Amino acid sequence: MLRTVANRSEWIFRRSLNKFSRSALRVLTTRTLRNLSTSSSQKHVLTTISSCQPIGVCATNFVRAYSSYPDHIKVPLPALSPTMETGSIVSWEKKEGDKVNEGDLLAEIETDKATMGFETPEEGYLAKIMVPAGTKDVPIGKLVCILVQDQASVAAFKNFVDDSPPIATAAKPAAMPPPSPMPPPPVVEPSVPPTVVEPSAPPSSKTAPRAAKPITAVEQRGPRVYASPMAKKLAETQQLRLEGAGSGIYGSIKSGDLADKKPVEVKPAKDKELVAPQGGYIDIPVTNVRGVIAKRLLESKTTIPHYYVTVECQVDALLKLRAKINKKYEKEKVKVSVNDFIIKATAIACRKVPEANSYWMGSVIRQFDNVDVSIAVSTDSGLITPIVFAADRKGVVEISKEVKELADKARKNKLKPHEFQGGTVCVSNMGMYGVTQFAAVINPPQSCILAVGTTNKKLVANADSEKGFKEISTMYVTLSADHRIVDGAIAAKWLQYFRDFMEDPSTMIV
In order of 56, 116, 458, 459, 466, the CA distances from 469 in angstroms are 93, 54, 10, 6, 8
Contact 106, 120 (CB under 8 A): yes
Between CA 252 and CA 219 the distance in angstroms is 17
Given the residues 316, 487, 500, 504, the one annotated as active site: 487
Pairing state between β 365-367 and 72-76: unpaired
In angstroms, rounded to a whole number, what is the distance separating the alpha carbons of residues 385 and 443? 9
DSSP letter, residue 227: B
CB 424 within 8 A of CB 359: yes
Respond yes or no: is residue 464 known to be catalytic: no
* 372 tagged catalytic: no
Angle between helices 488-503 and 316-328 (to 10 degrees): 50
Catalytic residue among 150, 260, 369, 483: 483
User: If you ran DSSP here, which 8-state letter would residue 423 be given?
Assistant: -
Cβ distance 248 to 230 under 8 Å?
Answer: no
Tell me which amino acid residue 290 is.
Answer: R
Task: Please name the helix (run of DSSP H) or strand (run of DSSP E) that holds residue 319, with its range, or none.
Answer: helix 316-328
Q: Report d(CA 67, CA 45) in Å as an integer.
A: 17
The sign of the CA dihedral 349, 491, 358, 415 is negative
Active site residues: 483, 487
